Homo-oligomer: A and B are copies of this chain.
Amino acid sequence: MTEKEIQRLLIDVRRGNLPLGRALERLRRLPFEDLGFAKIDHHRSLRQGYAEVIYAPGKRPEQVVSVVRRMMRNEHNILITRGTRALYRRVKRVARSARFHELSGAISIRKNSKVVGKGLILVISAGTSDIPVAEEALVTAEVLGNRAESLYDVGVAGLHRLMGHQQKLSAARVIICVAGMEGALPSVVGGLVRVPVIAVPTSVGYGASMSGVAALLAMLNSCVSNVAVVNIDNGFGAGCLASVINRL
């Protein structure tokens, strides 16, 4: 509820157009709608410029479909993360334009293909096993209205592979850098560019990788200063934040 609306409400109260009880109630009530198992927040996209997003794990297919059906009534893109092909088939029935992104399990429904981000979001991954997380970031950035490109398998063990793409690096306005194991890529990339780098540790690795904690710690300790970190495997979060930055 904006300050303006409150002002209007107070004017209505003063003019006697609005009974006290209802004024009180409106001051308390904030805009959301109750589906029983989850409150959809239509205004969230207004407040935050996001598309609607559904995190699939732990939800039954019919729950997801029912939420999608409701969401289809307004104009936002829809993104379902960590879905399955089976879920995709059911969603497809209520949303013709749904697309399945196999590696990451993302399902995207684009009703609006306008590009609102100002520059290019580049998603870099260190190894081939990091691609599912990178793809989630890529799809998220696109659904949220950005131009996005990828650059995969350019880990620090073979610097020449990364170095061969310096033009791509310098073309980006925001970089998402996805890496598991020792998580060294964001430090190297951060040292080569002057744009923000969002580091995404992945759970790729074994033993002392501790399900991604090694990469996470490495990224938090990065010796460059244009890097910030999101949760392990959180490609979605990185895509969102990149989009928020890219709209500035």
Residues of A within 8 A of B (CB): 1, 3, 6-7, 10-11, 13-14, 16, 20, 23-24, 27-32, 37-39, 41, 44, 47-50, 53, 58-59, 118-119, 126-129, 131, 152-161, 163-164, 166-167, 173-174, 180-184, 187-188, 190-192, 194-196, 198, 201, 203-234, 236-238, 240-241, 244-245, 248
Is B38 within 8 A of A128, CB to CB? yes
29 A–B contacts from the bound complex (CB under 8 Å): A3-B24, A7-B20, A10-B20, A28-B163, A30-B160, A37-B128, A39-B154, A44-B158, A47-B194, A156-B156, A157-B222, A159-B159, A174-B248, A181-B222, A181-B223, A182-B218, A182-B219, A182-B221, A198-B228, A201-B207, A206-B234, A209-B217, A216-B220, A218-B218, A220-B229, A228-B229, A228-B238, A228-B241, A245-B248
With A182-B222, A217-B208 known to touch, is A191 a contact of B157 (CB < 8 Å)?
yes
Is A208 within 8 A of B228, CB to CB? no
Is A7 within 8 A of B32, CB to CB? no
Number of copies: 8
Is B163 within 8 A of A245, CB to CB? no
Is B187 within 8 A of A156, CB to CB? yes
With A131-B37, A190-B157 known to touch, is A230 a contact of B228 (CB < 8 Å)?
yes
Per the bound structure, the CA–CA distance linking A14 and B41 in Å amounts to 32
With a cutoff of 8 Å between Cβ atoms, the chain B residues found around residue A210 in the complex are 217
Per the bound structure, the CA–CA distance linking A192 and B210 in Å amounts to 27
